[in-house]
Amino acid sequence: MLFLKRYKKYEHPYITASIIILIFLVFLSLFAPVLTDYSPVRNNARNRLQPPSREHLLGTDQFGRDIFTRILYGIRTSMQVGLAVVLLTVIFGGVVGVAAGYYSQIDRVVMRILDAMMAFPGIIIAISLAAIWGAGKLNIILALSFAYFPKMARIVRSSVISIKDLDYVDSARAAGAKDSRIIVKYILKNSASPIMVQATFNFALAILDEAALSFLGVGIMPPAPSLGAMVTDARTYMVVAPWMILAPGIMIVLAVLSLNLLGDGLRDLLDPHLKNTFQK
């Protein structure tokens, strides 16, 4: 793979660091049930609003639930939402982008629609859609995917346009290759880099926006654990229980930061033509 080859060639501390953090977070979310004995949702009235201690590493919330446990399950929710949004965005954006880029007859119409969709900030589309469909994991996954796919479609489209008239595609066409074969084998394969970079940034954005939606009460429904909803709870008890607010926020920052770092690194690594962030 190109990625691994280049990765070996240029030592890249940013990518390494971000991958280590991400593996750590995936580990936490996968092994949440093993790492903690507490339940993320069961109330324990006697332990309300306990400050951090040996039994409760990060303290407890207003229902006596262990915050460390809620964080582990919360990061699990973030990862699930992020991954699902990335998959759906790549699929929708890929199909629309290839259609617009490859078939120039529909390009204009599709582009106008995408332009209009991009006039709405993603978070506003997502809030409105989540309000229509109701809160819940599946609905916010769909809402965020809907909000992000226009940008992905544009990126795929411009990549397809830059590739489709290259000589090797023309020669494939001359040799009698069908559209489907040209698209999959010659065009998509060579558009993988910008798609991967954008997908990484979308992953980060999805975690950020899922937290914001849950914070506003239109995302993950309580008592299901979500980092954003934990911040909402913490806000109410900010003065009496300040420990509640730090941990979920830091966890979000850690996840988003490492994904953005990975995105920057991938962009530098995979596409020498793009604006480099770290290396020049």
Partner 1 sequence: MRNYIIKRILLLIPIIFIVAVIAFFITNLMPGDPVRVILGNMATESEVARLEQTLGLDQPLIVRFFRWLANIMRGDFGDSLYLNAPVAEVLIKRLRPTFLIAILAEILGIAGGMLLGILAAVKHRKFLDQFSITLSLFGISIPSFWLALMLMYLFSVRLGWFPVSGYEPFAEAGFGTLRYIILPAVTLAFMQAGLIARMTRSAMLDTLKQDYIRTAKSKGLSTKSIVFKHALKNSMMPVITVIGHNFAVLLGGTWIVETIFVIPGTGFMAINAIMRRDIPVIQASIIFVAVIYIILNLFVDLSYAFLNPKIRYN
Which positions touch partner 1 (CB under 8 A)?
Answer: 112-113, 115-117, 119-125, 127-129, 131-132, 134, 204, 208, 211-212, 215-218, 228, 231, 234-235, 238-239, 242, 245, 248-249, 252-253, 256-257, 260-261, 264, 275-278, 280
CA 227/CA 206 separation, integer angstroms: 13
- Considering the complex, state which of residue 169 and residue 231 has its C-beta at the smaller distance from partner 1: 231
Please, which residue, 182 or 227, has the CB nearer to partner 1?
A: 227
Give CA–CA dist 247/249, Å, rounded: 5
Q: Least CB distance from residue 42 to partner 1, whole Å?
A: 26
For residue 31, the number of C-alpha atoms closer than 13 Å in the C-beta half-sphere is 8
Give the tokens for residue 143. Answer: 């809402």
Q: What is the DSSP letter of 60?
A: B
Residue 127 or 156 with smaller CB distance to partner 1: 127
> Cβ 175 to partner 1, closest distance in Å?
35
| Nearest distance, CB of residue 206 and partner 1, angstroms | 12
DSSP label of 106: H
What per-residue string of b and e applies to 140-177 under the rule 16 or more CB within 10 Å gives b? bbbbbbbbbbbbbbbbbbebbbebbeeeebeebeeeee
DSSP output for 144-180: HHHHHHHHHHHHHHHHHHHHHTSHHHHHHHHTT--HH
| Least distance to partner 1, CB of residue 133, Å | 8
Nearer residue to partner 1 within complex by CB, 183 or 263: 263
Identify which of residues 47 and 258 has a Cβ nearer to partner 1 in the complex: 258
Shortest distance (Å) from residue 256 CB to partner 1: 4
